[in-house]
Amino acid sequence: MHSEADTRASKPERASTAGIVLAGGRSTRMGRSKAELEWHGSTLLHRVCGLIRRVVDGPVVVVRAPGQKLPALPDGVEVGEDAREGRGPLQGLAAGLSALNGRAEVAYVSSTDVPLLHPAFVTTVLGAVTRENVDVALPVAQGFRHPLAAAYRTELLADVEKLIAADRMRPAFLFELSRVHELSEDELLTDGALARSDPTLLSLLNVNDPQEYERARALDAPAVSVRCFGALANGSGHRPLAARAATLNEAAQAAGITLDRHVVAALNGDQISRDPELPLAAGDSVAFLAADAGG
């Protein structure tokens, strides 16, 4: 039997991919912290972190402003801190890359305010860095570059720090120093999984003010498939149930199940969880079974 220390020691020292979520913005137009905004019984920050965690094989780091209070985060998510408040995304990128230094090769960098982010989008953007042999994979959609929905090689930290020292705080300055591959909408959607799951690229929709937040919150929750097994099946014969659910708890409610210590869920056949706030995305499949009956 291996000990926990043995398990840690056997893991690769350097992961391929990681995540950085910037939570330290001032949220001036929203009027309150976006990180703490409610989203189907969870928060925006918890949701975005959880979706990125599903894709990467390394750490996910949340970068906050100095002393910023954060809502509860998924297990295993780390917290870093901006060196100075209010200096923009390049400062947050530096903090995130520094936290990942030597621990991952490429990081997907996200803002907090993208509740419709799909894991397939993250996968597609991350994959472009290796495929195109570049430093940055930068989505370009609706006529805009999206530096906070992009993938960066972690070795860019030195360049980022030099730009900050020179007070050149725009991401465009980093792009001038880097090998950048711009991902058009058409190129993004050549990925079949993304085209099926997010054909209109709502992964890029951010909510900047209360009106945008309310419009996004009013949209239907993701379409998912739910199955129940064992004692939870209640004569359903394991038939899948089509449901709308943004979290594991909403999927359980759709199936008439109360999440407690006697219930365990499998997401897409592999990820095992009891976290009611586990974020779901379009196309997900959730299986519930009684934990004391083999779960």
Question: Is residue 295 over pLDDT 70?
Answer: no
Task: Please say which residue of 190, 213, 236 terminates a domain.
Answer: 213
Phi/psi for 197 (5° steps) reads -90, -30
Residues whose CB falls within 8 Å of the CB of residue 176, separated by 6 or more in sequence, listed in order = none
27 and 119 in a single domain? The answer is yes
Residue 44's pLDDT is 97
15 and 67 in a single domain? The answer is yes
Q: What's the start-to-end Cα distance of the chain, in Å?
A: 21
Task: Report the C-alpha gap between 43 and 32 in whole angstroms.
Answer: 13
Tell me: the pLDDT tens digits for 214-232?
999 999 999 999 999 888 8
The residue segments making up the domain with residue 44 are: 4-213
Question: Is residue 10 over pLDDT 50?
Answer: no
208 and 126 in a single domain? The answer is yes
Task: For residue 4, name the pLDDT band (cuts at 50, 70, 90).
Answer: very low
209 and 224 in a single domain? The answer is no
Domain CATH for 269: 3.10.20.30
Instruction: Specify the length of the chain in residues.
Output: 295
Task: Please say which residue of 172, 187, 213 terminates a domain.
Answer: 213
204 and 229 in a single domain? The answer is no
Task: Please say which residue of 187, 213, 239 terminates a domain.
Answer: 213
Tell me: the pLDDT tens digits for 107-126?
999 999 999 999 999 999 99
Tell me: the pLDDT tens digits for 145-204?
999 999 999 999 999 999 999 999 999 999 999 999 999 999 999 999 999 999 999 999
Residue 85's pLDDT is 72
Residue 290's pLDDT is 87
Residue 24's pLDDT is 81
Distances (CA, A) of 198 to 59, 120, 206, 217, 275: 25, 8, 15, 17, 25
176 and 229 in a single domain? The answer is no
117 and 182 in a single domain? The answer is yes
What pTM does this model have?
0.91
Task: Report the C-alpha gap between 91 and 176 in whole angstroms.
Answer: 17
Tell me: the pLDDT tens digits for 258-276?
999 889 999 999 899 999 9
3-state secondary structure of 176: helix
Task: For residue 26, name the pLDDT band (cuts at 50, 70, 90).
Answer: low
233 and 167 in a single domain? The answer is no
Residue 241's pLDDT is 93
Query: What is the mean predicted confidence (pLDDT) over 15-28?
Result: 87
Distances (CA, A) of 229 to 246, 263, 273: 21, 10, 15
Pair of tokens at residue 255: 């199936």
Task: Report the C-alpha gap between 81 and 68 in whole angstroms.
Answer: 9
Residue 142's pLDDT is 87
